[in-house]
Amino acid sequence: MEIWDGHCHISGYSGTPAERVEQMVALADLMGVARLCIFMGSTFQQDPTPEQLRKANDEILDALKAWSSRAFGFVYLNPKHLDISLAELERCVRKGPMVAIKLWVAQHCDTPEVDAIVERAITLDAPIFQHTWRKVSGNLPGESTAVELARLAARHPKATFICGHTGGDWEQGIRAIAPYGNVYADLGGGDPTAGFAEMAVRELGEDRILFGSDIPGRSYGSQLAKVYGARISDTAKAKIFTTNLKGILTPALARKGVAL
């Protein structure tokens, strides 16, 4: 099966951004992964300053120069620095090669600042990947839950959202996003617990689930197992591994003239 990985980072490798992706691609080749979505820089900043945002995005732009044949870039934004974030969206997506947006833990995603980013994203056909988690030990100050993403998605039915980690506590995450057809479940990160993909197929349908690994924070073995080992049809597996992600990225890729 062709595999597209919707969730990869360039941290945890060594060298320049291009060299980091080279190491990632070597791993992807071993595991049969064709395409990689990359976002955030070689070091993670939970609440990046404007300078840190630009540096992180510059690193992804550098990596894409060498690896546009295998990798797609998502621009990293921080809603707390809204003007800078909209400028980064302009620089990296409208005028640059990136095709989607990554939001992490700086700001809860249901706050009004995020609306301006979403409205701009709609005009660019850029999906928004929002990290979500619900931690027993308590979330980080700005860390979003799947419930918060569901609230944002309800306000923006024309936007496309990816629920990063499906809320971490995925049994709750799946239920939170289920009513919103514009929200896709990311299987990436977390342990390879049995039942995740099965419940997602049952509750969301096989068209709203995306394979993501969250490498190198997680291994390909543990993440691919969530799909390969799931008791779902081969058709559903193919959709999760390729078709669904390809579908939501195609409008943005078409704008860039990327032939698939």
- Contact residues for Zn ion (CB under 5 A)? 214
- Cis amide bond preceding 179, omega within 30: no
H runs (alpha helix) in 43-169: 50-67, 82-89, 113-123, 146-155
Nearest to 246 by CA among 1, 43, 31: 1
Nearest to 146 by CA among 112, 181, 172: 172
Token couple for 250: 């195609």
Task: Identify which of residues 125 and 214 has a Cβ nearer to Zn ion in the complex.
Answer: 214
- The Cα 119–Cα 183 span in angstroms is 16
- The Cα 125–Cα 107 span in angstroms is 23
Token couple for 84: 């800078």
Residue 207 sits at φ, ψ, to 5 deg, of -90, -5
Task: Identify which of residues 186 and 206 has a Cβ nearer to Zn ion in the complex.
Answer: 186
| Least distance from Zn ion to the Cβ atom of residue 7, Å | 5
| Least distance from Zn ion to the Cβ atom of residue 123, Å | 26
Task: Identify which of residues 175 and 218 has a Cβ nearer to Zn ion in the complex.
Answer: 218
- The Cα 117–Cα 113 span in angstroms is 7
Task: Identify which of residues 57 and 206 has a Cβ nearer to Zn ion in the complex.
Answer: 57
| Least distance from Zn ion to the Cβ atom of residue 189, Å | 6
Token couple for 18: 């291009």
Task: Identify which of residues 79 and 212 has a Cβ nearer to Zn ion in the complex.
Answer: 212
Q: Which residue is nearest to Zn ion (CB)?
A: 214
| 8 A C-beta contact, residue 24 and residue 215 | yes
Going from the C-alpha of 50 to that of each of 27, 74, 84, 207, 234, the distances in angstroms are 32, 17, 6, 36, 44
| Least distance from Zn ion to the Cβ atom of residue 9, Å | 6
Token couple for 19: 């060299």
Task: Identify which of residues 76 and 241 has a Cβ nearer to Zn ion in the complex.
Answer: 76
Task: Identify which of residues 142 and 236 has a Cβ nearer to Zn ion in the complex.
Answer: 142
| Least distance from Zn ion to the Cβ atom of residue 156, Å | 22
